[in-house]
Amino acid sequence: LADAARHRLGAEGGGRELIAKLAGGLEQLNAKVRALCEGLIPVEIGEGDLKSALEALCESTRKAHGLSVTLEADALGDLDPQTAHQFYRIAREAVANAVRHGHPRSIVIRLLQRDAGALALEIADDGVGFDESRRRDAGLGSRIMQYRCATLGGQLQIQQREGGGTIVSCSTSRTLVPTDSGG
């Protein structure tokens, strides 16, 4: 569409600038629509696939927003599919919220094994943080993350990060799935 308009305008200078702006805006809109559509496609995460899904989330966020997004995972043995799916969705929502509201330069996703092998997911960013006074009016994304964490028997916490930014953590009593020792 933008190319057709450029062609019709020919060498006219004033219109070319407008067409260039429109073309840039359309390209950005197209990228956002594609990202939204990708987000609507259900992600199937089986045992052992959470790391790949989180790495893909890091990579797509890096490409789309030019941020440093890393995964630190010391607890990526076998997870049951429900835990893996909920952790992925929580991470995705927390990353989207960080990008949308926090304007960070970097985001770190951590999958940790805590006391007695309990699993925790943590998403930390170095953005502007959040307004503590508006916390009671949590948005839909925060409520959905809360629900997803609760389905795992866990507790979601959203905290200001010391030095700026936000930490979203889902601590559960879930543990890694025991592997079959073959016997």
Asked if 61 and 102 sit in the same domain, the reply is yes
Domains in the chain: how many in total? 2
Asked if 6 and 26 sit in the same domain, the reply is yes
**Alpha helices (runs of H) in the chain, residue ranges in sequence order:** 2-9, 13-40, 50-65, 81-97, 140-151
Asked if 94 and 120 sit in the same domain, the reply is yes
Output the pTM of the full model.
Answer: 0.73
pLDDT of residue 179 exceeding 60, the answer is no
Which pLDDT band, with edges at 50, 70 and 90, does 182 fall under? very low
Asked if 30 and 73 sit in the same domain, the reply is no
pLDDT of residue 60 exceeding 60, the answer is yes
Q: How much of the chain exceeds pLDDT 90, in percent?
A: 42
Summarize pLDDT for 1-40 with one digit per residue, the tens: 666 666 666 655 566 777 778 878 887 777 677 666 655 5
Residue 122 structural domain: 50-171
Concatenating the DSSP letter of every residue in 154-178 gives -EEEEEEPTTSSEEEEEE-S--PPP
pLDDT of residue 181 exceeding 50, the answer is no
